[in-house]
Structure 1
Amino acid sequence: MASGIFDRLRPPASGTRNATVLAICQGLFTAAVAIDLTLTGLTGYQLAPDKSLATLPFAMITVAGAVVTIFASLLMERIGRRWGFTLGALFGALGGLVSVLAVFRGDFWLFCLGTAGVGAFQAFAQYYRLAAADSVPDEAKAKAISTVLAGGVIAAVLGPALAAWSKDLYPVLFAGSYLMVFLLGLASAALLAIGYRDVAMHAAAGQAFELPARPLATVMRQPIFLAAAANNVIGGAVMMLIMTAAPLAAVACSHSIDDGANIIQWHLVGMFGPSFFAGRLIARFGLATVLFAGMALNVACAVVAVASASLTAFYLALFCLGVGWNFMFVGGTTLLARSYRPAERARVQGAAEILRYGLTAIATLGAGPLLETYGWSNLNIVILPMIVAAGIVTLVWVRQERRAVLVPAGE
């Protein structure tokens, strides 16, 4: 395979540089997606021939991302991540350009195609953190993942601000904002093509590089993979369920629309801010401790939200939710990167991302109806059994790891 040739030409030290490049690209990607997330609902409503279709362009981001995810993984296994990531960023740039044209022409269906391009960009960008983890040894994986996610901190705040600043650049409303999506995708593609290099994958501790690939079902039955999936998938679903409903719940509780937007910005700081130190926390206190701390913060979110509907409670709950997601996501990704052999990478990563996308999409689509039917307090109670399930699966992995350490000592 082409990637295998490149892998052996590049020194492992390139992994550190790659993490920096990917962090910058994560920032560019997050800013581009934040523009789409901020404006696509409004643009869709403006262009839709039937107002019941107004959220379809927004849904296309998630749907296209889910469809492309597995193909992105398999494609990068063949052509290497450098060119795969570059292609993904070009999809994003093209999506932004198509969206500009759609807004100028008032073409709703063309706009759906443009947002699907951003969804394809998202599918490739979801592998940035895994690429960083694969290119460094076990002890450095958490730090590499955190470095990449830290790139989203400034972008999470900058993206909505950039959307507001650029929406009136042209006489046609929002055209300038989607031009920013095009430019951000193009900048990301250029940086990846010039600065990123395919490097040799570090096998997990105790695994020989030449070990053959196991059946996917065998890999997915491992306690370490199940714990990775529980933290990534459940953590992501819980976060999207509460985050999607929070602005609507805030308005229903007599807070302003601006308050709802500020709550989400504070939540985004909680999501990405801990990336600056999550890797160090894992190195100092251990992976399991950080994972359980993330679950505890999600529980704290639910408790605060149920206890009060004040604006302060919304801010505190959503901040706890963001930090809890970060700890579970960084920790879960670290576990995932340790769960497969080099020969299994593409299939296992693709399967894991499909699981995460699928449940996250269901949570996003279900947030509105659940909020309408059961209310804000009950919606937060719903997440508690999910967090408990993640905790049980993680505990099984912890016990298996301890047995693996103790058994050789007794022989």
Structure 2
Amino acid sequence: MSVAVAELDARPKFPVSVFLLTIAQGLAGAIPPIMVSVGGMVGQTLTANELLVTLPISMFMIGTCTATIPVAMLIRLLGRKPVYCIGAMVSMIGGLTCTLGVLQNSFLLFCLGAFLFGLNIACVQSYRFAATLLVPETMRPRAISFVLAGGLVSAVVGPQIVVWTSNVVIGAPFALSFLCQALLALSTLPALLLLRFPAMSTPLRKGAVTSAPPSDAKVSLKDYVLAVICGAVSYASMSFTMTASPLAIIACGFSVDDAAHGIQWHILGMFAPSFVTGRLIERFGHQNVMLFGIALVAVGAVIALSGQELAHFWATLILLGVGWNFSFTGSSVMIARSAVGPRAVLLQGIADFSIFAFVAISSLSAGALIHLAGWSMINWIVVIATGLTALPFLYQATTKRNRTVRG
């Protein structure tokens, strides 16, 4: 018994800053579910153009995409903690702007607030990479998974805020929901202010000498590009369907609460597997986990094509979430391993820019496409995109198997 206890004590543990990043992830991560749940519905009340109803969600994604590389450059210049705190303050301003947009019936203000929200999400997306600076290389998959697991808080808090606050302000539905978003952004500051990073992640100053990467650490362009493609397709497919699903659910005669709870189950699916994803990557390899995630996203789309009952919508959203977790976590680990050295932060920023460029395009087109072509077309596109993405992984697996047989 004492041996078992000693072995348990000897196991490496996460430093406090990893837990703080997880807390910040959980609080800030509750903002996107609110925007996705009601952004399209608010858009319908603020503009008569049905092709633009999901523009606020798209502006949110465009904000994230726009900020990824500038955030990476600012991190190199100022350090992570100051940049993360600035991002939280910008997000709070975004919440207040969205609230004002709803109260004044201004579509322009609402879109501006959504854009400001997106700027901070570029910071939030880099929390997972920040965690890898705090642990040994062997623990990086678990650290990334653990930080993403903070999304479980997001899954509960975000949609429930929508349910509790949607009709509190008479004549301005969801105004209080966006005010709560501002408070969520503010609540991340205590955790962010307590963060401590190793000296290697301090700002780069003029004339400073950066240490060279280890001799065996090389950027694998093929792995990096493959990881970015997988992350982009899985995230864009998830966003594409998630953006359109509340509109489809309402159009099928279900309630706003049904749509919000569907998003809640989806967010749970996105983050609940995080407790085991890191271990699965260690056991089966990140590429196998990524491929399995892509397959789950495709299965979710097939279920959506099979019917339009509430169970079909919820099953699709859950599988989308779980599939996203496996594919996105796996791609994050692959990016972290292939992007090394002094330029790692910039390479991570480029990866996130590429991913969120796809996400922004998918969310922007979702509203117009569901209006022009319907819910089924959304899911056919997901099936095709995930199928094409799986091909390089299947090719690599087949090539590796053939080499093993010949050897």
Please give the range of the TM-score, normalised by the shorter of the 2 chains. Answer: 0.7 to 0.9
CA distance in 2, matches of 1:383, 1:52: 20
The answer to whether the Cα contact below 8 Å between 2:159 and 2:260 also exists between their aligned partners in 1 is no
Shift of 1:232: 0.6
The answer to whether the Cα contact below 8 Å between 2:55 and 2:364 also exists between their aligned partners in 1 is no
Percent sequence identity over aligned pairs: 36
Shift of 1:167: 5.0
Bigger drift between 348-357 and 288-297 goes to 288-297
Aligned position for 1:210: 212
Aligned position for 1:139: 138
Q: Which amino acid letter does the alignment assign opposite residue 384 of structure 2? A: P
Q: Deviations over 1:144-167 (max 9, x none)?
A: 111111111122222122234345
The answer to whether the Cα contact below 8 Å between 1:264 and 1:318 also exists between their aligned partners in 2 is yes
Q: 1:14 to 1:180 in 2, by over 3 A?
A: farther
CA distance in 2, matches of 1:48, 1:371: 17
Aligned position for 1:261: 260
Q: Which amino acid letter does the alignment assign opposite residue 26 of structure 2? A: G
Aligned position for 2:190: 190
Q: Is 2:99 the partner of 1:128?
A: no
Q: Alignment length, in residue pairs?
A: 384
Aligned position for 2:323: 324
Q: 1:252 to 1:20 in 2, by over 3 A?
A: same
Q: 1:166 to 1:246 in 2, by over 3 A?
A: closer
Shift of 1:71: 0.4
Shift of 1:335: 0.2
Q: 1:36 to 1:252 in 2, by over 3 A?
A: closer
CA distance in 2, matches of 1:105, 1:303: 41
Q: After the TM superposition, which residues 238-257 of structure 1 pair with which residues of structure 2 at under 5 Å, given as runs? A: 238-253=237-252, 255-257=254-256
Higher relative contact order (CA closer than 8 Å, sequence separation 6+): 2
Q: 1:284 to 1:399 in 2, by over 3 A?
A: same
Q: After the TM superposition, which residues 304-315 of structure 1 pair with which residues of structure 2 at under 5 Å, given as runs? A: 304-315=303-314
Q: Is 2:112 the partner of 1:113?
A: yes
Aligned position for 2:361: 362
CA distance in 2, matches of 1:37, 1:222: 34
Aligned position for 1:32: 31
Shift of 1:49: 9.3
Q: 1:212 to 1:71 in 2, by over 3 A?
A: farther
TM-score, normalised relative to structure 2:
0.82
TM-score, normalised relative to structure 1:
0.81
Aligned position for 2:70: 71
Shift of 1:66: 1.7
Shift of 1:344: 1.4
Secondary structure at 1:343 match in 2: coil
Aligned position for 1:5: none
Aligned position for 2:206: none
Q: Deviations over 1:210-260 (max 9, x none)?
A: 1499xxxx95x7221122112211111111222223333445555555433
Secondary structure at 1:135 match in 2: coil
The answer to whether the Cα contact below 8 Å between 1:26 and 1:151 also exists between their aligned partners in 2 is yes
Aligned position for 1:99: 98
Q: Which amino acid letter does the alignment assign opposite residue 179 of structure 1? A: L
CA distance in 2, matches of 1:340, 1:192: 25
Q: Is 2:343 the partner of 1:334?
A: no
CA distance in 2, matches of 1:302, 1:75: 38
Structure 1 segments unaligned to the other structure (5+ residues): 1-12, 203-207
The answer to whether the Cα contact below 8 Å between 1:145 and 1:334 also exists between their aligned partners in 2 is yes
Q: After the TM superposition, which residues 391-402 of structure 1 pair with which residues of structure 2 at under 5 Å, given as runs? A: 391-395=390-394
Shift of 1:271: 1.1
Bigger drift between 325-334 and 154-163 goes to 154-163
Q: 1:397 to 1:24 in 2, by over 3 A?
A: farther
Secondary structure at 1:196 match in 2: coil
Superposed CA RMSD: 3.5
Secondary structure at 2:343 match in 1: helix
Q: Is 2:81 the partner of 1:82?
A: yes
Shift of 1:375: 4.0
